[in-house]
Structure 1
Amino acid sequence: MTNSEPDLPPGSVRTERLLLRPFTLDDLPAYVRIRDEPSVRDWLRSPDEPAAIIAERSLRHFMDEWRLRGYGPWAVVDRRTGELLGHHGLRYMPDFDGETEVLYTLSERVRRQGIGVEAGRAALAYGFGRLGLGRVMAITLHDNLASRGVMERLGMTYRRDATHRGLPVVYYAIDRAEWQRQAA
């Protein structure tokens, strides 16, 4: 991972294959297409609202998080093609006692290629290194085994069952000391 460089927007990170940067409104058309993919709608349990409305609300929320907190979910961009692949990064979770979540949604086309783990490692390094967080957590639906696999490959461990927005979820976490031991 390479930290911020002069030619990147503030908060951006480059990895081997990815540019992770704050979203802009220019990302909206591509993000709508991703949010409209069947498996994205299924796993995120999107309501019956059109994908365009959900995508714009999410994108604006992500942009607001960067302005308010100095971090938030990144736009995941393929460095080779410039294509938007999804979102990944950190989000403040007031309904989980103000913890910070690593969250991600990637286009169906690029799953199972290690992109979630590559971006996740960058997010953890950003959270523990730049932001000085003590813990990063993640949640997903019980049966989302692919997402749980990403969490486990990031070194996160299952801690408990929880509820989020009325849905039963599993709660995974990694503390700074655990991350430092694994990164050494």
Structure 2
Amino acid sequence: MLETKRLLMRPLTGDDFADYAAMMADPQVAGGLAESVGTSPADAWRSLALFIGHREIRGYSHWALVEKATGRFVGRAGPWRPHGFPGLGVGWCLAREHWGRGYATEAARASLSYCFGELRAPEVVSVILPGNVRSIAVAERIGHRHLRDVQYGGRTVHLYGQRARSTPD
């Protein structure tokens, strides 16, 4: 579990399903993701189960983002490396009513720090759909730069990322 100034980042659970499904039912939210996902409750169930299963397999995954001030579910963010992914990634997805508040950047920074500190990653990447200017802006705010375009999930996507800062001995 992680905490930021405004967010509690805790493991996703089945209890998050109603909020998660509501978030994923929004075509603007689901349509901005590099992974091709649908907007039905069944699609949301499979997506949530994928993140929970990823934690079981890899030992890390996206966390549920909970607004400290209200206890409301905001979205998900965290480290990610499913089969076929082009490296250890950091991703984020927020319910639209929480866009524009800086939560994605706050969660992405904490996730990036976790990847470099706890997971000792030499590089962390983010896969972003071309045209998703909001996610590109988040990636750039956390220090990512466009590395190249890659094929992922049958589409061409932008690969943003950065290497760990080396410290002198």
Report if TM-score (shorter chain) is over 0.5: yes
**Residue 69 (structure 1) shift:** 1.4
The residue that corresponds to 2:6 in the other structure is: 17
* 1:74-85 alignment runs, 5 A limit: 74-85=63-74
The residue that corresponds to 1:156 in the other structure is: 144
Q: 2:160 aligned with 1:172, yes or no?
A: yes
Aligned counterparts of 2:6 and 2:36: Cα–Cα separation in 1 = 29
**Residue 82 (structure 1) shift:** 1.1
The residue that corresponds to 1:111 in the other structure is: 99
The residue that corresponds to 1:92 in the other structure is: 81
Q: Of 60, 63, 67, which residue of structure 1 is paired with 2:52?
A: 63
When residues 50 and 156 of structure 1 are mapped into structure 2, their CA distance, relative to the original with a 3 A threshold, is: closer
The residue that corresponds to 2:25 in the other structure is: 36
Q: What residue ranges of structure 1 are gaps of 5+ in the alignment?
A: 1-11
Q: Of 122, 136, 152, which residue of structure 2 is paired with 1:134?
A: 122
What number of residue pairs does the alignment pair up?
166
The one-letter code of the counterpart of 1:128 is F
**Structure 1 consecutive aligned stretches of length 4 or more whose deviation exceeds 4 Å:** none
The one-letter code of the counterpart of 1:55 is A
* Secondary structure, counterpart of 1:80 in structure 2: coil
Aligned counterparts of 1:26 and 1:92: Cα–Cα separation in 2 = 23
Kept after mapping to 1: 8 A contact 2:54/2:82: no
Specify which structure has the bigger relative contact order, considering alpha-carbon pairs within 8 angstroms and separated by 6 or more residues: 2
**Residue 46 (structure 1) shift:** 4.6
Give the RMSD, CA atoms, in angstroms.
1.6
Kept after mapping to 2: 8 A contact 1:87/1:104: yes
Kept after mapping to 2: 8 A contact 1:93/1:101: no
The residue that corresponds to 2:134 in the other structure is: 146
The one-letter code of the counterpart of 1:15 is T
Percent same amino acid among aligned pairs? 33
**Residue 51 (structure 1) shift:** 2.2
The alignment's TM-score, normalised by the length of structure 1, stands at 0.85
Q: Deviations over 1:30-51 (max 9, x none)?
A: 100000112113223755x552
Kept after mapping to 1: 8 A contact 2:26/2:39: no
Aligned counterparts of 2:40 and 2:2: Cα–Cα separation in 1 = 28
* Secondary structure, counterpart of 2:124 in structure 1: strand
The one-letter code of the counterpart of 1:146 is R
The alignment's TM-score, normalised by the length of structure 2, stands at 0.92
